[in-house]
Structure 1
């Protein structure tokens, strides 16, 4: 049976302001060059933050802001589907059960967000559990996990390896549970990978050499959690 790897693909990579078809096509070539099947959950990025903020300004609740952000993730997911083209679902699935059935016969399954209050990182981890994947990649515009925000603090330390508990402790200090805000991996997702012992790799999504190494479970320039 072909092994499965799940990707939590950051929306800011897919759509940093406008959809980046060149990047998604390059990533698709890397994925197709491996022996693996893939479950891909696409985030909302800037688009989700924009929509969630707009909803709040109109008096929306956090639940409703989450719904707006989820719509953004599905638009980004559809863009990824359109570029993959072959051996993939035609529209983003809304449930993990749909994704599991599709993955039995196809190489790629793509989703956006699912329900309010759940980030796409948690969705990706739940998809990994559903599909029986033992490796998950978090692809973002940050090249690993740091002890502080590396954008604001240039002296922040990057971890090469972490335990599940170290990641849970760090996420617990930074996860605001609010649509449009972001820590590299949310608290619930951290707890989920720990309970199922899913090996997690955090790499910069545009470093395609590191992406390939992470897919294969090899050492790379990002962070490995296990």
Structure 2
């Protein structure tokens, strides 16, 4: 008996080697986008631009660079791709609001958002899943305004959350202008402009190859967008938190005050807390430590850094995690 699944396009696969997975029946690929059950030895099918995703709720598709497994009623598929295998398969990119301002002549620099969009596009085409958390410091920073004209900290933080939504909508528009399917999800409901944050929906968007931008922080005052990035990273099971900043990484001293400050290649979570390094707030560091999430801090302004960091190449400073620092550094 033969069983087939119809799978519409989603991920481009240049060359596919089909092999049995565990005890599941062997499945093949064909240009008609059907997966008939086969028996026998391994076969190789060349498909120039075939793409796959689950077509029914009863089928589940798991995509990773160099590996694709489709599970439906005991049917499974595994392929080996000739493409390079990358260190990370699902990443969360934290972009600070200050970085979006560029040279600070305006709140948002379109050249910066376009640069981010193009580099994210270059890695999503490789099958790497990318989520983004944006800050709002280029427009409004709640902690700085608290106490001004009677503005309490909670109200100031909520205004700051609204600023992150503005940045997210701008970044979404830039990405979609170059053909990247993008969704914005907010921590509190703003249904006219964005989806509410729903963990399962966010993960599904990522599996379909869409970029998801998380806005409005955690939805609660007194928490930074760094903490929101660490929280969302843990929730969506991202493998690394990439923190894009205006400096090359973490230094042993303030490089603006000390010209001899040394850029650190690697740090432990304990180093960050004990030395009171201000790269992230302590709540975010603790969340990353408890969930064993490595953090890569790098310079957003240098061309190519985003795509290099997402691919796991040597860039910036690596904090914590069980990851082999030598492997991460390329």
Q: TM-score, normalised by structure 1?
A: 0.85
Bigger mean CA deviation after superposition, 136-145 or 65-74: 65-74
Q: Does 2:299 correspond to 1:204?
A: yes
Equivalent of 1:81, from 168, 172, 187?
Answer: 172
Structure with larger RCO (C-alpha < 8 A, sep 6+): 1
Q: Does 2:97 correspond to 1:11?
A: yes
Offset of residue 130 of structure 1: 1.0
SS in 2 for 1:48: coil
Equivalent of 1:93, from 186, 211, 217?
Answer: 186
Unpaired runs of 5+ in structure 2?
Answer: 1-62, 65-88, 188-196, 321-330
Offset of residue 10 of structure 1: 1.0
Bigger mean CA deviation after superposition, 32-41 or 100-109: 100-109
Given that 1:5 and 1:38 are in contact with CA atoms closer than 8 Å, whether structure 2 keeps it comes out as yes
Offset of residue 141 of structure 1: 0.7
Offset of residue 101 of structure 1: 4.6
For these two proteins, the number of residue pairs brought into alignment is: 213
Q: Does 2:245 correspond to 1:152?
A: no
Give 2:157's aligned residue: 66
Offset of residue 157 of structure 1: 2.6
Give 1:47's aligned residue: 139
Give 1:224's aligned residue: 318
Higher Cα Rg: structure 1 or 2? 2
Give 2:284's aligned residue: 189
Residue by residue over 1:178-201, the C-alpha shift from the partner in whole angstroms, topping out at 9 and shown as x without a partner, is xxxxx3211111111111111211
Q: Does 2:248 correspond to 1:143?
A: yes
CA RMSD of aligned residues (A): 2.0
Give 1:178's aligned residue: none
Tell me the distance in 2 between the aligned counterparts of 1:38 and 1:6.
Answer: 6
Higher fraction of helix: 1
Q: Does 2:194 correspond to 1:102?
A: no
Give 2:58's aligned residue: none
Offset of residue 92 of structure 1: 3.8
Offset of residue 46 of structure 1: 3.0
Equivalent of 1:167, from 262, 272, 275?
Answer: 272
Give 2:231's aligned residue: 126
